[in-house]
Amino acid sequence: MELNKEMTAQESLTLIAETINNSRKDVIRRSGRYYIIWGALLTFFSLLIYLLWKTSGNAAWNNLWFAMPLIGFPLSRMLKAKDGAGQEKNIVTSTVGGIWTSFCVFACSVAVFCLVYGLLTNNAIGNIVVGASLTAMIVLLFGLAETVTGVALKNWVIKIAGFVTGIGGIIVYYVTGTNKEQMLIFTFAGIVLMATGLIVKRQN
């Protein structure tokens, strides 16, 4: 009787492990499309803002960033709707969703701080330093979020891509130097994200 109970408990643990593993594989398989979409949007908007900023000399073109989620979120919802019943919420999807929600909260909070700081102070040098470092902070947070996602999904491609995005983005930041060329950091991140999506789709 004790042996039967032990076997039942062991079978339950095995079933739970298999279920989580299957969910992880399913999330990885589906994530390729989202990486490609957001990578393409990030690449497009960063290049567009960079070119408009460079030709006009007006940093106000950065407001175009607000258009990116207006396009990206509906596209993501459309893909999710196509998946239908295959997108039930579970511990894996909740974990991945929590990671990227945390990234959005941190990135938006840092951006709002920089905006408010710029409006409330007249320190030109301070505004330049805060504004310039914002790009580096966001790309570093982005790379960290992607790496942690790779850890949660146990996928080396996503882990490496996140590391390359975060650390590589910082390198691009220091190499480019000037304000306008900072947009190339996001172009770099977008290209890496698209490549990640293509590799993940090919793997699955």
Spell out the residues 6+ positions from residue 199 whose beta carbon is closer than 8 angstroms to its own: 32, 157
Closest by CA position to 143, among listed 193, 76, 199, 98: 193
Over the stretch 7-57, which tens digit does the pLDDT of each residue have? 566 676 777 778 778 888 888 888 888 999 999 999 999 999 889 988 888
Secondary structure letter of residue 142 according to DSSP: H
Q: What is the pLDDT of residue 122?
A: 65
Distance CA 39, CA 142 (A): 12
Q: Which two three-digit tokens encode residue 58?
A: 């007006």
Q: What is the pTM of this model?
A: 0.79
Over the stretch 2-17, which tens digit does the pLDDT of each residue have? 545 555 666 767 777 7
Over the stretch 134-180, which tens digit does the pLDDT of each residue have? 788 888 999 999 999 999 998 999 999 999 999 988 887 887 765 66
Q: What is the pLDDT of residue 41?
A: 95
Over the stretch 67-81, which tens digit does the pLDDT of each residue have? 888 898 888 888 877
Distance CA 180, CA 122 (A): 22
pLDDT band at 132, cuts 50/70/90? Answer: low
